Structure formats: structure tokens, C-alpha cells
Structure 1
Amino acid sequence: MDHLRAVPSGAPSSEGAPEGAVLGDLLARSARGDSQAFAQFYDATSARSYGLALRVVRDPSQAEEVVQEVYLDVWRQSGRYDAGRGSVIGWLLTIVHRRAVDRVRSAEAATRRDATYHQEINPVAHDATAEAAEASLEAHRVRTAMQALTPIQREALELAYFGGYTHTEVATMLDLPVGTAKTRIRDGLIRMRDALGVTTS
């Protein structure tokens, strides 16, 4: 990400303002082609972006690539940010999380292709094949159930369970009170349970 770090940086002009206001101003200036503002935006947010990417992909080099791709997209599409749909940091981390999950899914797909090739040249016992099929079916059911959630529930659940973040961390990332974050996660889990047909004793 040297080409991003090479852009000269400086202190945000709105000193003392809430972080969300500062980031919103920097993003708006970036949308107008202000590379100085973009450098400041990057410096203020890249550590959190990298931390989230690393927790999802579990590999430092892969996390760096995810973050680089995200900030290139942000630079090109910063004008698409809609303040009415959430905080700047929540918007950014959602992009990071989605891109990181895509990277994981791509790696899993490559692994499955390798496994398929291996099975074709080395026949697998019936029991192992049945177990793999069952696991694949369960993963499909979970993905389908996730689509039944509202966007805000899905976002909170993805951060909490796929990203590995605590309720407090999720609340910070989404710029929400902790109680609200917990409610979104709880409601999402209830809808997931209903969609999966899980019964409680």
C-alpha cells in the first residue's frame, strides 16, 4: 500500500470535532479529488480496516491486499457514501468485511476445486463423501438463512460471528449503543434459528 502511504498527510482541519464529522468531511473532500484529504482519511482509518480484515482472512499478506483493494475503491467511489444510511466508519468497515469475506470464499472455492481433483484421482470412501456432502448442505442452509435477515441484522451478525468481534467492538464499528448492537445480534440469531427450523428445549 506504498502508493497510498506516499500521499502527503496532515491533521484534519476540523480539530475537536467528533470523529464521524471529521471523517465525513475528509470523505467528502476525497470525492472532489482532494488527495490530501484522502491521505488523512487513510491514516485515520487504516489500522481498524486492517485489523478487521486480518480477523476475517487470518493472513497478514491477504489482509493487506484486502485493505489496499478497499481503499482504492473508496478513492474511486467516495462520492457514493450516503450519510443517511450510517456512519462513515461503519460504511467503511462494512466494505472491508465484505471484501474480506469474498477473499475467504474465493480461497475456499479454490480449496474445494483442489479437493475435487484429489478425489477424482484418489477415490474417497463412501462415509467420508457422505460427511462432506452433509457439511456442504449445512453451510448452504446457513447462507440461505443469513439472507432472510434484515441488512442491519446481517451486518451485526457477520461482524460478531464471522469477524469474531465482541458486542462492544461491533457497537463501536457500527457507531451504535452497545444495547442496540446486542439487540440486533439477538434478533438476528432468533431469525436465523427460525429460518433453520431449530427448536429450543
Structure 2
Amino acid sequence: MKEVVHIGSRTTPGPDLQELVTQVAQGDQKAFSGVYDAVAGPVLGVVRAVLRDHAQSEEVAQDVLLEVWRTAPRYRPDVGTARNWILTLAHRRAVDRVRSVQASAARDHKAALLARDRDFDEVSEQVETRLEHEQVRRCLRALTEVQRQSVTLAYYRGLTYRQVAELLALPLGTVKTRLRDGLIRLRDCLGISA
């Protein structure tokens, strides 16, 4: 069946869609332009009916028309009309998009549920942190008084070595030695390798 093409006030018969698809299968870009003009609207309509989202519908319709270009050699006229073949591609692609969106939403929902289960992990982490703090306190108690005071002032109060020396009324070299020795003993007590 030939399509009728209106040019100005007269009509001229043009190739039907099946012939155009056959030409597209041979790489004819001009024929693809004819296919595009003939089916772009119906393809968008089928896709929009499934997706109900204008932006996604346009994207999927573009994908369908590209698929027509790539897969035109697979079209079999003995199975159905070119229009039905193209609209079936459109429907399948739209349904695939719906399934993809649903799968993505399900993954996001599952991830959200897993994120909510982190309350247990937070409790576990708090317990572990408390145990570590207790171990540090125990190791600090094992230091000499000058080592413990030096480490506490330098690392917990943020004082410089010179300020620690002035506060403890000790020579700067003595404070540095006590700090170094205290840190070594802390490292060994905590089981940290050098």
C-alpha cells in the first residue's frame, strides 16, 4: 500500500513504510528520514501511554527510532507490518524502562532500609570507642608521673613542648625525653607496631 504525500495542493504517492524500512535496512539515510516522519508521533504516543512522563517518553522514543535504524535488517514483512513492528519495539522499550525504574526504586528502598539498620552499628562503634578509651586510660596510668603529665598536657590540652616545660618547671630537653619515652610506652601498651 502506498502512502500519499501532500506537496502543496497536489498529492503524490510515496513509498510505503515497509519499503522505507527495507531501504533503511540497506543503510539509506533518506529512507530513515521518511520512516522517522511517518512514525515519530505514534512511537511517542505509545511510549507516553506506558511511561506517563514526558521527558522519559521523549528519551525512550529517540532510543526506539535509533533501534529501528540499527535493527531494520531484522524486520520481517511476513510476520507483520512495518508500523506494527516499530510500535511493538516502542512498547517493549517503554515497558523495559518502567521495569528499570521500578528495579532502581526497589534498590534505593533496600539501601534506605539497610541504612536505617545502622543504629546497631553505631552502638557497636560506641562500645568499641569506650573500650579503646579505657585501654588508653589504663596505659596512661602505667606511665611515670612526669611522663603522664607531659603527654596529657601536650596531646590532650594541646600545649607546646616549651609550654609543658614551663608549666612543669622542667628543662625543655627533659620534657622532650619524657614525652618520647611516654609515647613509646603507650605504643607498646596499646599494641601498636612502630
Q: TM-score range by the shorter chain?
A: 0.5 to 0.7
| Whole-angstrom distance in 2 between the partners of 1:71 and 1:23 | 14
| Whole-angstrom distance in 1 between the partners of 2:21 and 2:115 | 53
State TM-score, norm by structure 2: 0.52
Residue 79 of structure 1: which of 73, 78, 81 is its match?
73
Amino acid in structure 2 at the alignment position of 1:111: A
Cα offset, 1:75, TM superposition: 0.8
RMSD: 2.1
| Whole-angstrom distance in 1 between the partners of 2:68 and 2:82 | 11
State TM-score, norm by structure 1: 0.50
Q: Tell me the residue number matched to 1:26.
A: 20
More strand by share: 2
Q: Tell me the residue number matched to 1:41.
A: 35
Q: Which has the larger radius of gyration?
A: 2
Cα offset, 1:15, TM superposition: 4.4
Residue 88 of structure 1: which of 64, 82, 88 is its match?
82
Q: Tell me the residue number matched to 1:56.
A: 50
| Whole-angstrom distance in 2 between the partners of 1:70 and 1:60 | 15
| Whole-angstrom distance in 2 between the partners of 1:15 and 1:32 | 24
Amino acid in structure 2 at the alignment position of 1:86: G
The C-alpha deviation readout for 1:2-61, integer Å capped at 9, x for no partner, is xxxxxxxxx59x9447xxx70001111111111111101100111000011011111111
| Whole-angstrom distance in 2 between the partners of 1:61 and 1:121 | 31
| Whole-angstrom distance in 2 between the partners of 1:104 and 1:122 | 27
| Whole-angstrom distance in 1 between the partners of 2:12 and 2:85 | 22
Higher relative contact order (CA 8 A, sep 6+): 1
Q: Tell me the residue number matched to 1:104.
A: 98
Query: 1:118 and 2:112 equivalent?
Result: yes
The C-alpha deviation readout for 1:137-196, integer Å capped at 9, x for no partner, is xxxxxxxxxxxxxxxxxxxxxxxxxxxxxxxxxxxxxxxxxxxxxxxxxxxxxxxxxxxx
Q: Tell me the residue number matched to 2:150.
A: none
- What aligned pairs does 1:160-199 form with structure 2 within 5 A after superposition? none
| Whole-angstrom distance in 2 between the partners of 1:98 and 1:33 | 24
**How many residue pairs were aligned?**
109
| Whole-angstrom distance in 1 between the partners of 2:70 and 2:107 | 33
| Whole-angstrom distance in 2 between the partners of 1:87 and 1:106 | 28
Q: Tell me the residue number matched to 2:177.
A: none
SS at match of 2:27: coil
Q: Gaps spanning 5+ residues in structure 2: where?
A: 118-194
SS at match of 1:84: coil
SS at match of 2:16: helix
Q: Gaps spanning 5+ residues in structure 1: where?
A: 1-10, 124-201
